[in-house]
Amino acid sequence: MGTMNDPVPAHSKHDGAPSVPAPASPGAGPARAAGVVPPTAQGGGTAVELQDWGGRSRRRLIFEVLLVLGLSLGKSAVYSVVSLLDKMSQAPIAQGTSTLNAVQNSREVFDFTYQVLGIFFSLVPVLLVFYLLAEPGKSVFRKIGLDWRHPVRDGLGALGLLVIIGVPSLGLYAAGRALGITTEIIPSALDQYWWTVPVLVLSAVRAGVLEEVILNGYLLGRLQKIGLGWWSAIFLAAVLRGSYHAYQGFGPFVGNFAMGLLFGWVYKKWGRVAPLVVAHALVDIAAFTLGPALGFGG
């Protein structure tokens, strides 16, 4: 369900953990005159230096990936696992709660300000990913399929994914609660103001953009450049997706791991992030705004 698809919420109380969502190896052209060693396109290296950089490109990619994840979903995963261990050390998991959208301040104007700032700054890693994936003369949005080229196909694909992941998630949550392996999930604990629903919608869109762009649009490609095959990359990304939902319990970990496999396969097949973002956002919008009606805590 949508509530199982968000990284560890920021500033949640005892029940949650704070979250926080490569340059291509440059090539050297032929020398224009005998005995002349051409500089790199980056404006500072010779062909010899470039060759040495190429030998280290895999390590640089690994370091880049670790930096991106350390600023976003990897950080959330670490806090999520620690949060789960914290809950398990105090009481059975079923007695714990996980609040996804918590009040940040008792005064309305500052609560609103903190909510908007949290959404904005959590998307900064996405901007970093766009920068790292950018190539001269090419659209990074077209590269990962986050554009308007196929609105009908993307829309239908998103609706199909919504059905595939939405309905089973409700059953998985209910089963997890019955088995005692899932915390009570509270999609929103926000007070009712004029801006509550718009902020919840923005929070849902943020989750869709942050997770799908980083996991599918960025991470899968980078893992392949490092040397992994498609399915190995998809598996690792799915493990990461499940890990940053582990604070909600073992049920959400399994559900989001399965969602990661499905979304990874869809991205491999279509090469487009757009339907994944839309489907994810729609699931979360439903969960955040209709949580109690769908069987979640509130």
pLDDT tens digits along 136-165: 999 999 999 999 999 999 999 999 999 999
> Is residue 60 pLDDT above 50, yes or no?
yes
pLDDT for the residue 95: 95
Residue of 11, 275, 288, 39 whose CA lies nearest to 158: 275
Residues 185, 98: Cα–Cα separation, whole Å: 5
At 56, is the pLDDT very low, low, confident or very high (cuts 50, 70, 90)? low
Dist CA 197 CA 296 (whole Å): 17
Strand, helix or coil for residue 49: helix
Report how far residue 166's alpha carbon sits from residue 2's, in angstroms, rounded to the nearest whole number: 7
Q: Is the pLDDT of residue 27 over 80?
A: no
Confidence of residue 35 (pLDDT cuts 50, 70, 90): very low
**Sign of the C-alpha dihedral computed for residues 214, 217, 219 and 222 taken in this order:** negative
As given in the structure block, the two tokens for residue 218 are 């960025």
Kindly tell me if the per-residue pLDDT of 252 is higher than 90: yes
Strand stretches in the chain, DSSP E: 97-99, 184-186
How far, rounded to the nearest angstrom, does the alpha carbon of residue 90 sit from its chain's CA centroid?
Answer: 29
Residue 298: its pLDDT value, please?
A: 65
The overall pTM is greater than 0.85: no
State residue 43's pLDDT score.
34
The rounded percent of the chain whose pLDDT value lies above 70 is: 81
Q: In this model, does residue 63 exceed pLDDT 50?
A: yes
Residue 249 falls in which region: left (phi positive, over 0), alpha (psi -120 to 50) or beta: left
- Residue 18's pLDDT is 41
Q: HSE, CB side, 13 Å, CA atoms: give it for residue 111.
A: 18
pLDDT tens for each residue of 154-202? 999 999 999 999 989 999 999 999 999 999 999 999 999 999 999 999 9
